[in-house]
Structure formats: C-alpha cells, structure tokens
Amino acid sequence: MAKFFDQLDDEHCEFIRAQHVFFTGTAPADGGRVNVSPKGLDSFRILSPRQVGYLDLTGSGNETAAHVEDNGRLTFMFCSFDKKPLILRLYGRGRAVRPWDEEFERLYPQFEPLPGARQIIVLAIESIQTSCGFGVPRLSYEGERDTLVRWAEKRSPEEIAEYHATKNSTSIDGLKIRSAPPGGS
C-alpha cells in the first residue's frame, strides 16, 4: 500500500543514501517526450527535509534542465535492488542552478566535485510516496562506471563549454535551455 508524506524523515534519508542509482522523471508542458534518466556517481544530496538536489554532469542531452525550466515538474525515484523491497518517489518543483548563479557557490560544496559538472538540479519537495517494490528484481552492485568522469577529465573547460553550447542548449523537443550570461562561463 502506497503511503504519502510531506517531508523526508530519518528512514527515508537512510534509504536514499543507501541507493547507488536514482531516476529523474520530467516532461515538457505542451506534449513532447517524457524523459526518465538514470543517475549515479554519489551525486545526490539531501539539503533539508523538504529540499534535495543532485550534481548534474555533462551528458549527451540536457532534458531534465529543459523540462524544469519549461514547467518545473520533477520526480526523483529511488528503488531498492537488494534486501529491502521499497520504492520512494519525491515529487515537486525543480530548477537548475548553474555555475554562474549566485546560489551555486552555496550549494556546490555539499557535493563531491566531479569533472564536467554543468548544474545542480534542485527539487522543492511537495510530496513523498513510498510503495512496496515487490516486483523490482534483486541485483548486485558491482561499482560505478567511470566513463563519464574520464571523458570530462580529457577536456578543457573551454571544450566542455563548447560541448554545452552545441549539444546541451536545446532539448530533443526543441526547448531552449538557459545559457551563461554574456561574459559568463
């Protein structure tokens, strides 16, 4: 039976911290593709009982940022693949905090620095849902992939910025993504 909560409690936080992967779910306001994206690399942080975020790294697309800029709707899902069968979803309003935003300086120290960091996606939690997870398979964790980190380490800040400008500035449905202010990075 699903249960709903208004904010994270100690048990929720312990469960979240124990997971090696989480998923983002977003969609544009006016149709278009629903995006579900897996995340890892210990990039998720609990900022308060009603606010969470993750350090978003440079990737092949930037759908989560495009969708939260479009309408703010964002869901994070955590599910256990080991002993305790549980699914936990965080629903709320998301936003992208970029390196040139004043808030980035305050939030960034809470994360492990990773090469290729392009933004922090922050969620203001409106609702939390837990459900059984009885149908989720049990899997063994072997470790993090280092491919994305190695890719970013081989590039200069200028090359990363160029990649953002050419590959991460428009969603697959054509939504424009907020870019650095003139003269910004």
56-94 pLDDT, tens digit per residue, is: 999 999 999 999 999 999 999 999 999 889 999 999 999
What's the confidence (pLDDT) of residue 179? 79
The domains of the chain, with CATH numbers, are 3-133+143-167 (2.30.110.10)
Helix and strand tally (H, E) in the chain?
5, 8
Residue 182 DSSP class: T
What's the confidence (pLDDT) of residue 185? 52
What's the confidence (pLDDT) of residue 25? 98
CB distance 29 to 68 below 8 Å:
no
What's the confidence (pLDDT) of residue 1? 80
pTM: 0.95
pLDDT in tens, 96-155: 999 999 999 999 999 999 999 999 999 999 999 999 999 999 999 999 999 999 999 999
pLDDT in tens, 167-185: 999 999 999 998 777 655 5
